[in-house]
Amino acid sequence: GAVVSQHPSWVICKSGTSVKIECRSLDFQATTMFWYRQFPKQSLMLMATSNEGSKATYEQGVEKDKFLINHASLTLSTLTVTSAHPEDSSFYICSATRQGLLEIQPQHFGDGTRLSIL
């Protein structure tokens, strides 16, 4: 159980393009989804936290107008990188968690999206 699907796995596109990444929880309802970015040989960096039906909470330094997050349902969150530039090239990973009533649940990760902007 606790499968998270992320699509696409790879994106290569020209500078100025907007890119949409989907994150789905396949076998559970995710009360909260998280978006991370990871540069090579560096640790995970949390970009934003989103709860279904409400606006995402962005970490300091992350531009909310550039990284648009939509969490329209309990099984789907999307991250859109608007007008992407080469410096946005990175490994983007989503995770999802279902909040238990009595206990904390782990985050389960999608397989990640490798974004390369030319």
Using CB under 8 A, pick the residue from 3, 26, 44, 118 that binds another protein.
44
H-helix or E-strand spanning residue 22: strand 19-25
Residues sharing a CB contact under 8 Å with residue 118, sequence separation 6 or more, in sequence order: 12, 13, 14, 15, 86
Using CB under 8 A, pick the residue from 19, 93, 96, 115 that binds another protein.
93
Nearer Cβ to another protein (22/82):
22
Nearer Cβ to another protein (46/76):
46
27 binds another protein (CB under 8 A): no
Contact, 44 vs 34, CB < 8 A? no
106 binds another protein (CB under 8 A): yes
